[in-house]
Amino acid sequence: MDMRLKTSPRLLVDDTTNVEGVEKERRLGEKRLFWLILVSVLVLTPILILLATVIGFSTLLGLTLVGSILILVARRPIVGFYLVAGCVVLFEALSLDTPIITDNLPIYAWPPKFNGLPERPIGFFMLYIFLVIIVRHLLARERPVFKGGPMLGPLLGLLLCVVWGIVHGLASGGVFKIIVLEVRPFWYIFMTYLLAYNLLTDKKQVRTFFWILILCSTIKSFQGVYVLFGPLHGNMTAQHDILGHEVSFFFVSVLLLLLLFVLQYRDRAQMWVIILSLPTLLLALVANQRRTDYIALLLGAGLVWILTMVIKPHIRGRLLTLLSALAVAGAIYVFAFAHAGGAFAAPARAVYSVFSPEGADASSNMYRWIENFDLRYTVQLNPMGLGFGKPFLQPVPLAILATSDPTADGNPYQFIPHNTIYWVWMRLGYIGYFALWLVFGTMIVRGCLIVRNLRDRYIQLIGLFILGTTLMEVIVAFADYQLYFFRNVIFFGLTMGILMKLPDLEEREERKKLENVDPERLPARNGVGS
């Protein structure tokens, strides 16, 4: 008996009709789109030309770009996350002595004509992303609109202390403009944590974030080399901060990521891009002359090395031997080149100068020592905190450091010290100081537990990286404005959200793998299905 199925002619006719109908509908849709674009161009072109003559073509171009970005983010909010990350690594917050284009764009400050607005451009953009998330969730009737995650409690505790600092500052003569300036970094940490925790849904998105870090840092290294061999004619001592304080932190973060690719897991594409960028990255790092970042990198590398030994006990002996050898080699390098000249010896001089400074480094260390003494003195007299917006007490007067910053009567250093850990202590008192360390401690402890339980090697590597950079954040914050600079705190908030979301991302990856498995390829159970 012939068991083959016979195709009905009627079914063939119906299928052909359906295909022709779909094709006809597609052509009709293309015609509608063509006429819509044509009419839009004809209507908008004269309007845009007239508008450009009034506000200027550069302003019109900027508004058009901003409008396009806002539309794109409304359709895909994760693009907003990527753009925030790119702005953090790529664009400077302040103008540099040598212009490099990325230092003169209105990302962290407004042009003079827009001064007086309550928030910076980057802040408004993050608020817009929040609005998009809320509207999309409400339209989809999804609850909750925002997920707080494990760090919500500690962050809210810190923000509650910040509110106390605002009220206390206003009630005791604090300058409102300075209060807004000082409070903004805490708000940015909270916002970026929530953005990362609520927007990330896939491992690929985290990988894209790290591509942004790597590629933007590579661009910054090219800019650093241009400044060094262009305007500075190769003289590394001619100018400090050729790229700004924050860029050195991103450079050492990329170096930490490279170390993890060697120790933990090799994402070959990302690893080789870092290796190829090493010549310019190391040269720009040395030329930027930020001593504290070298110490932070050493301690961050030590932390991830120890955690890798805990995670991989089968190679613990080899890692311990190699770590000991590198520590001895590093100590020999520092003592051998601490007083030598040239670019190769610059890191050794920087590390040595932290403990035994000379010349300008000695003056810098002395300034910070006096500053820390004054901050501790202020805390002793104000155990509940001085509040925001007032200069800290100076029983030992500090040198007046000129600055172009218009806030604080041209001298913000009397309000915002280099040591931003002590800055929080001075502003918020012992309770606020405890709240700050609760945030750091909760993040590190939870992060260690998360990393220990992760099975995906790349996701585990990301967890180790964030733990290492968190320690680096704390180290640099003791000496170099780390918790005040917008770029640093936004990066910190994003990585905090990523770290807390890693278990969910790994679970999603496992579900995707199971869904993509062919049932016929699964092993048979009890002889059935073989």
* Two structure tokens written together for 140: 């989809």
* pLDDT tens-place string over residues 309-346: 888 888 878 888 888 888 888 778 777 776 677 666 77
Given a contact cutoff of 8 angstroms between Cβ atoms, the answer to whether 199 and 505 are in contact is: no
> Which stretches does DSSP call E strand in 269-335?
none
Averaged pLDDT score across all residues of the chain? 82
Q: How far does Cα 385 stand from its chain's mean position?
A: 29
Mean pLDDT of 46-53: 53
Domain limits, the chain: 76-509
* pLDDT tens-place string over residues 385-428: 999 999 999 998 887 655 544 444 445 778 999 899 999 999 99
Mean pLDDT of 23-41: 63
| Long-range Cβ pairs for the range 181-184 (8 Å, 24+) | 181/407, 181/412, 181/416, 182/388, 182/389, 182/415, 182/416, 182/427, 182/484, 183/388, 184/120, 184/123, 184/486
Which of 108-117, 147-156, 506-515 shows the lowest mean pLDDT across its residues?
Answer: 108-117
At 528, give phi and psi (nearest 5°).
Answer: -90, 135
Mean pLDDT of 491-498: 96
Given a contact cutoff of 8 angstroms between Cβ atoms, the answer to whether 302 and 310 are in contact is: no
- Could you give the CA distance from residue 254 to residue 523 in angstroms, rounded to a whole number? 43
* Two structure tokens written together for 509: 């990856």
Mean pLDDT of 508-528: 61
Which of 32-46, 93-107, 224-238 shows the lowest mean pLDDT across its residues?
Answer: 32-46
- Rounded to 10 degrees, the C-alpha dihedral 217/218/220/225 comes to 140
* pLDDT tens-place string over residues 357-383: 666 667 777 888 899 999 999 999 999
pLDDT tier for residue 18 given thresholds of 50, 70 and 90: low
- Could you give the CA distance from residue 428 to residue 52 in angstroms, rounded to a whole number? 48
- CA-wise closest residue to 494 among 204, 151, 75: 151
